[in-house]
């Protein structure tokens, strides 16, 4: 094993924390999410690989918080961005490319009749909630409690442990139901009849969508006058180029996209049925809704990038590739788990385009220290993988190398189970993002 030094990354940490609250602009990238002595700061990326400021090379998974689905510095995408930047980027009136991008999107997602672009996924999900509240005249929102993130805004963050600064009345307006559990949806409507503006959930997370559940939920929503919103931030451009809704042949009232549609550039979308979306328009004379209007919403190079992403997906059948390569990765990882007798301790699950692993301790309890150990040993060997979400740039040899590394990590994981983790874990454990205090549950082992 090459000995990797993390000297410069470690030295930069203090400056990061002095300049940026949390030491990162996104909590999921924060130091508390990575092993204490192995927190690489990235200098550059190409394809599925990144290099840190110490010059270490890594195979990376879950790039750009799952946004970079084609690969880093992907030539056709960067060229599309440069081409558009050279034509100008933002004017006083709409640019023709705004229509072109909207029509491209609507062709991909047959259930959507109108679309409006934003920059972040949260722009889109919060706009969906606002539109549902405006249409129904209701304040309450039903969120799927099994799905970990919908928005940086109060209607969602109010439901987490980090709800400081969010008014109590807003927190109380967000209520929850469970995925694939029609009883929980019925119970919610029974408890708050005629009060819920919309239900929002990801079409799929780890377990496949039960279509029976979906159709029953849709019928209940219709009966209640509640809108159904599918958040396709992760499933969009991974399950199907037109999202999981197209894959499953279902039509929500509203849906939200982002992440992979821009391969790391900033673009998101709120899409849906005309009768709702049009409330944000100029062609009706009902009371108006202020729907997604931002300075950078139509930043032209992001729109050009989106259309280039669509072209690449079509040219190479990227969705089929995710299926192929994800299955290889899943099978390879499962073999390692079996070979090292780690069943019940390490698990790989999810859709081939969105694979994640979970870690358990010697008592088969979900374990952050064991997650830390897994990451510590992978990072030491050149694998940066908080998840195993791959992209189009993960070729056979990259996945093979990933599996070789995981095979070595598995040996240590097994020893830590048998001999105690203290002997192997070099620093404090990673921590859940949603916690009240920074140091409340800081586990050293
Ligand atoms: C399912 C889901 N919805 C919405 C969002 C919010 O997107 P953004 O971080 O671009 O605001 C995320 C981000 O991780 C997400 O995973």
3-state helix, strand, coil in the chain (%, to 5): 45, 15, 40
pTM recorded for the entire structure: 0.96
CB atoms within 10 A of CB 1: 9
Domain count, the chain: 2
Residues 278 and 394 in one domain: no
How far, in Å, from the CA of 167 to the mean position of ligand 1?
A: 22
Read off the pLDDT of each residue in 78-105 and give the average, rounded to a whole number.
97
pLDDT digits (tens, 9 = 90+) for 3-22: 999 999 999 999 999 999 99
pLDDT digits (tens, 9 = 90+) for 202-223: 999 989 999 999 999 999 999 9
Nearest atom of ligand 1 to the alpha carbon of 202: 1
Cα–Cα distance, 213 to 215 (Å, whole number): 6
Start-end of H helices in 62-149: 63-66, 75-85, 96-108, 121-136
Nearest atom of ligand 1 to the alpha carbon of 122: 11
Q: Any residues with CB less than 8 A from the CB of 57 and at least 6 apart, and which?
A: 49, 50, 51, 382
Residues 244 and 125 in one domain: yes
Residues 135 and 284 in one domain: yes
Which CATH number belongs to the domain containing residue 235 in this structure?
3.40.640.10
How far, in Å, from the CA of 427 to the mean position of ligand 1?
A: 30
Residues 60 and 119 in one domain: no
Cα–Cα distance, 216 to 228 (Å, whole number): 12
Whether 441 has a pLDDT exceeding 60, the answer reads no
Q: What is the mean pLDDT of the chain?
A: 96
pLDDT number for residue 144 = 98
Mutate to test the pocket of ligand 1, among 233, 270, 356, 433 (most ligand atoms within 8 A of CB): 233
Single out the residue of 37, 11, 13 nearest to residue 425, CA to CA: 37
Q: Which residues of 107-127 are buried (b: 16+ CB within 10 A; e: fewer)?
A: ebbebbbbbbbbbbbbbbbbb
How far, in Å, from the CA of 434 to the mean position of ligand 1?
A: 15
Residues 40 and 124 in one domain: no
How far, in Å, from the CA of 200 to the mean position of ligand 1?
A: 13
Residues 267 and 363 in one domain: no
pLDDT digits (tens, 9 = 90+) for 133-171: 999 999 999 999 999 999 999 999 999 999 999 999 999
Residue 169 lies in a domain: yes
Kindly state the helix (H) or strand (E) to which residue 186 belongs, with its residue range.
helix 182-191
pLDDT number for residue 439 = 86
Residues 103 and 213 in one domain: yes
Residues 125 and 212 in one domain: yes
User: Of 298, 332, 347, which residue sits at a domain end?
Assistant: 298
Structural domain including 65 reads 7-73+317-423
How far, in Å, from the CA of 122 to the mean position of ligand 1?
A: 6
The β-bridge partners of 140 are: 196
User: Of 298, 330, 365, which residue sits at a domain end?
Assistant: 298
Residues 68 and 95 in one domain: no
Residues 231 and 94 in one domain: yes
Nearest atom of ligand 1 to the alpha carbon of 120: 10
Nearest atom of ligand 1 to the alpha carbon of 151: 6
Which residue has a Cα nearest atom 14 of ligand 1? 149
Residue 119 lies in a domain: yes
Which CATH number belongs to the domain containing residue 386 in this structure?
3.90.1150.10
Residues 153 and 263 in one domain: yes
Cα–Cα distance, 50 to 91 (Å, whole number): 35
How large a percentage of the chain has pLDDT more than 70? Answer: 99
Residue 369 lies in a domain: yes
Q: Are 42 and 51 in contact (CB under 8 A)?
A: yes
Residues 117 and 194 in one domain: yes
Residue 57 lies in a domain: yes
How far, in Å, from the CA of 382 to the mean position of ligand 1?
A: 27
Q: Are 268 and 123 in contact (CB under 8 A)?
A: yes
Residue 81 lies in a domain: no
Mutate to test the pocket of ligand 1, among 153, 157, 258, 386 (most ligand atoms within 8 A of CB): 258
How far, in Å, from the CA of 31 to the mean position of ligand 1?
A: 20
Whether 445 has a pLDDT exceeding 50, the answer reads no
pLDDT number for residue 443 = 45
Cα–Cα distance, 66 to 237 (Å, whole number): 11
Tokens 């993988």 sit on residue? 385
CB atoms within 10 A of CB 82: 11
Residue 312 lies in a domain: no
Which residue has a Cα nearest atom 4 of ligand 1? 150
Mutate to test the pocket of ligand 1, among 24, 125, 269 (most ligand atoms within 8 A of CB): 125
Residues with CB under 6 Å of ligand 1 are: 65, 120-122, 125, 149-152, 202, 231, 233-234, 258
Whether 369 has a pLDDT exceeding 80, the answer reads yes
Which residue has a Cα nearest atom 8 of ligand 1? 121
Residue 83 lies in a domain: no
Nearest atom of ligand 1 to the alpha carbon of 152: 11
Q: Which residues of 324-357 are buried (b: 16+ CB within 10 A; e: fewer)?
A: ebbebbbebbeebbeebebeebbebebbbbbbbb
Radius of gyration of the chain measured on its C-alpha atoms = 22
Q: Exposed, middle or buried, 315 (CB in 10 Å: 0-12/13-18/19+)?
A: exposed
How far, in Å, from the CA of 151 to the mean position of ligand 1?
A: 6
Whether 1 has a pLDDT exceeding 90, the answer reads no
> What is residue 207's three-state secondary structure?
coil
Residue 199 lies in a domain: yes
Q: pLDDT tier at 444 (50, 70, 90 boundaries)?
A: very low
């Amino acid at each position: 094993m090459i000995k990797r030094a993390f000297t410069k990354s470690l030295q930069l940490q203090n400056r990061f924390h002095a300049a940026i609250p949390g030491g990162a602009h996104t909590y999921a990238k924060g130091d508390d999410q990575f092993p204490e002595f192995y927190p690489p700061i990235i200098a550059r990326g190409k394809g599925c690989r990144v290099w840190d400021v110490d010059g270490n090379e890594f195979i990376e998974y879950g790039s750009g918080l799952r946004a970079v689905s084609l690969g880093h510095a992907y030539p056709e995408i960067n060229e599309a961005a440069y081409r558009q930047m050279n034509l100008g980027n933002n004017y006083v009136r709409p640019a023709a490319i705004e229509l072109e991008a909207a029509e491209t999107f609507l062709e991909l997602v047959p259930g959507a009749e109108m679309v409006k672009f934003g920059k972040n996924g949260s722009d889109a999900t919060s706009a969906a909630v606002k539109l549902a509240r405006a249409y129904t005249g209701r304040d309450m929102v039903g969120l799927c409690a099994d799905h970990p993130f919908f928005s940086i805004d109060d209607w969602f963050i109010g439901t987490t442990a980090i709800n400081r600064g969010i008014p109590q009345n807003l927190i109380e307006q967000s209520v929850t139901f469970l995925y694939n559990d029609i009883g929980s949806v019925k119970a919610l409507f029974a408890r708050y009849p005629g009060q819920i503006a919309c239900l929002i959930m990801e079409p799929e997370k780890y377990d496949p969508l039960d279509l029976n559940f979906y159709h029953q939920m849709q019928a209940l929503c219709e009966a209640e006058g509640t809108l159904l919103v599918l958040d396709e931030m992760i499933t969009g451009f991974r399950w199907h180029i037109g999202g999981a809704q197209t894959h499953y042949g279902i039509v929500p009232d509203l849906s939200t996209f982002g992440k992979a549609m821009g391969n790391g550039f900033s673009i998101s979308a709120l899409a849906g049925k005309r009768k709702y979306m049009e409330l944000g328009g100029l062609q009706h004379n009902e009371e108006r809704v202020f729907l997604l209007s931002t300075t950078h919403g139509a930043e032209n190079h992001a729109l050009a990038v989106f259309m280039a992403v669509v072209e690449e997906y079509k040219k190479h059948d990227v969705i089929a590739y995710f299926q192929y390569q994800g299955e290889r990765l899943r099978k390879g990882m499962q073999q390692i788990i079996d070979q090292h007798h780690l069943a019940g301790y390490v698990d790989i699950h999810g859709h081939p385009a969105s694979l994640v692993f979970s870690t358990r301790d010697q008592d088969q309890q979900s374990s952050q220290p064991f997650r830390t150990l897994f990451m510590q040993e992978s990072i030491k060997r050149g694998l940066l993988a908080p998840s195993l979400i791959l992209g189009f740039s993960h070729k056979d040899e990259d996945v093979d190398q990933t599996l070789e590394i995981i095979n070595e990590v598995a040996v240590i994981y097994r020893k830590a189970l048998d001999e105690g983790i203290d002997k192997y874990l070099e620093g404090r454990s990673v921590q859940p993002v949603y916690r009240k205090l920074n140091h409340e549950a800081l586990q050293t082992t």
